[in-house]
Amino acid sequence: QVQLQESGPGLVKPSETLSLTCTVSGGSISSYYWSWIRQPPGKGLEWIGYIYYSGSTNYNPSLKSRVTVSVDTSKNQFSLKLSSVTAADTAVYYCTRGGPGDPLDYWGQGTLVTVSS
Amino acid sequence: SYEVTQPLSVSVALGQTARITCGGNNIGRKNVHWYQQKPGQAPVLVIYRDSHRPSGIPERFSGSNSGNTATLTISRAQAGDEADYYCQVWDSRIVVFGGGTKLTVL
């Protein structure tokens, strides 16, 4: 059974860079797409972007200028960096498996990241 | 950009059938996926590619998609079905989520 686990700081200062890592267990990161989703408190789901195991990426146009997603197949991990954060970036961040056309079939438990000084 | 629209809330009596819609321009030409999210939990895939149920999802959950509307149907609704439900499509390699529907079981 594939499992995903997010890790990273729960508190980030405004204007700094949010960094999260998702560790995949119970299966290989190879041959799949992997996505990041976020959910502000009390609001709906927002897609951030995806990466293919080979390294190709695609991002939400509204976040594209601030987002970088990378993959480390040797560690079975993929990562998210979101720069120049503001309070509007406060959200639960989820990592998921899924790419173009496919459902997001496996989800991490989510990690709350708060942007505050 | 493509948009999908869901009702904010749907109510259903215990044991009756709930229908949650997801509207979009010619959405019938796209694959629609549905997720259930209970408070404090991660979303769970309940229907994929319009009408397919993942392993472990009860047969009470079904889906359809035609024209400009996709529908998630929950038969014999139970108290445990109370949750937020999100539809999702891919459009030009970008994920589009509906705004979510809160299902209340009365």
A57-81 pLDDT, tens digit each: 999 999 999 999 999 999 999 999 9
Give me the sign of the Cα torsion angle A63, A68, A71, A76: negative
DSSP states of A59-70 as a string? Answer: E-TTTGGGEEEE
Q: What is the pLDDT of residue B69?
A: 98
Mean pLDDT of chain B: 97
Interchain proximity B43–A45, CB inside 8 Å? yes
pLDDT in tens, A3-37: 999 999 999 999 999 999 999 999 999 989 999 99
Task: With beta carbons less than 8 A apart as the criterion, state whether A94 and A38 touch.
Answer: yes
Contacts made by residues A56-62, CB under 8 angstroms, sequence distance 24+? A58/B93, A58/B94, A60/B94, A60/B95, A61/B1, A61/B94
Residues 6+ apart with CB under 8 A from A1: A26
**Residues of chain A found within 8 Å of residue B86, distances taken between Cβ atoms:** 44-45
Residues of B in contact with A100 (CB under 8 A): 90, 93
Which residue among B43, B86, B90 places its CB closest to the CB of A101?
A: B90
Q: Which of B72, B1, B60 is nearest to B33 (CA)?
A: B72
CB B106 within 8 A of CB B13: yes
Partners of B72 in the β-ladder: B20, B63
pLDDT for position B16: 98
Q: Given pLDDT bands bounded at 50, 70 and 90, which one contains residue B62?
A: very high
Q: Does A42 touch chain B (CB under 8 A)?
A: no
Shortest Cα distance, chain B CAs vs residue A75, angstroms:
24
